[in-house]
């Protein structure tokens, strides 16, 4: 199932819609439409993350011109890129974030086949086992909100 730019806005909570539109406006046109969205909950809000996107990466100066929130949005989107090296590069920018809307992007990467991505997640989420860490709070809370997807039954975690 192909997605549109409007659908990509739905990959984030509604309060980020203006920032997502700014990011989408600077991203190059996609070679192919984003595909296969999967639904998760961020808090009480359902969002639909793209399984893959196909835009070329942006020059560093363009990325640096964005706000911190817009850069995080951009890195989240590129963490769904069709190229595993691109996904890994952008994961490095978001893996330590405790923003609830970033968590599903990182969690989705944990199920992928790129060993370097899995090693980065393990490295960046090393504090996940500490009971009162911000990582544990963000990922523990968020993982309870993942209620299922368009790709199959509820994950139950």
pLDDT per residue as tens digits for the range 131-155 = 666 655 566 644 434 334 444 433 3
**Whole-number pLDDT of residue 50:** 92
Q: Is-contact 37 7, C-beta < 8 A? A: yes
pLDDT per residue as tens digits for the range 106-135 = 888 887 776 777 777 777 666 666 666 665
> Does position 2 have pLDDT exceeding 50, yes or no?
no
Q: What is the pTM of this model?
A: 0.75
pLDDT per residue as tens digits for the range 32-62 = 877 778 888 898 999 999 989 999 999 999 9
Three-state SS string over the chain comes to CECCHHHHHCCCCHHHHHHHHHHHHHCCCCCCCCECCEEEEECCEEEEECCEECCCCCCHHHHHCCCHHHHHHHHHHHCCECCHHHHHHHHHHHCCCCCCCCHHHHHHHCCCCCHHHHHHHHHHCHHHHCCCCHHHHHHHHHHHHCCCECCECCCCC
**Whole-number pLDDT of residue 126:** 62
**Whole-number pLDDT of residue 142:** 46
């Amino acid at each position: 199932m192909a997605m549109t730019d409007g659908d990509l806005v739905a990959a984030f909570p509604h309060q980020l819609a203006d920032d997502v539109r700014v990011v989408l406006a600077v991203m190059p046109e996609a070679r192919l439409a984003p595909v296969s969205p999967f639904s998760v909950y961020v808090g009480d809000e359902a969002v639909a993350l793209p399984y893959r996107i196909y835009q070329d990466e942006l020059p560093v100066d363009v990325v640096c011109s964005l706000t911190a929130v817009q850069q995080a949005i951009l890195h989240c989107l590129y963490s769904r890129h069709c190229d595993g090296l691109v996904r890994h590069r952008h994961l490095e920018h978001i893996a330590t974030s405790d923003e609830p809307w970033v968590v599903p992007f990182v969690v989705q990467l944990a199920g992928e086949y790129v060993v370097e991505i899995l090693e980065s997640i393990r490295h960046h989420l090393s504090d996940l086992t500490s009971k009162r860490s911000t990582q544990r709070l963000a990922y523990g809370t968020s993982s309870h909100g993942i209620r299922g997807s368009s790709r199959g039954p509820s994950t139950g975690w």
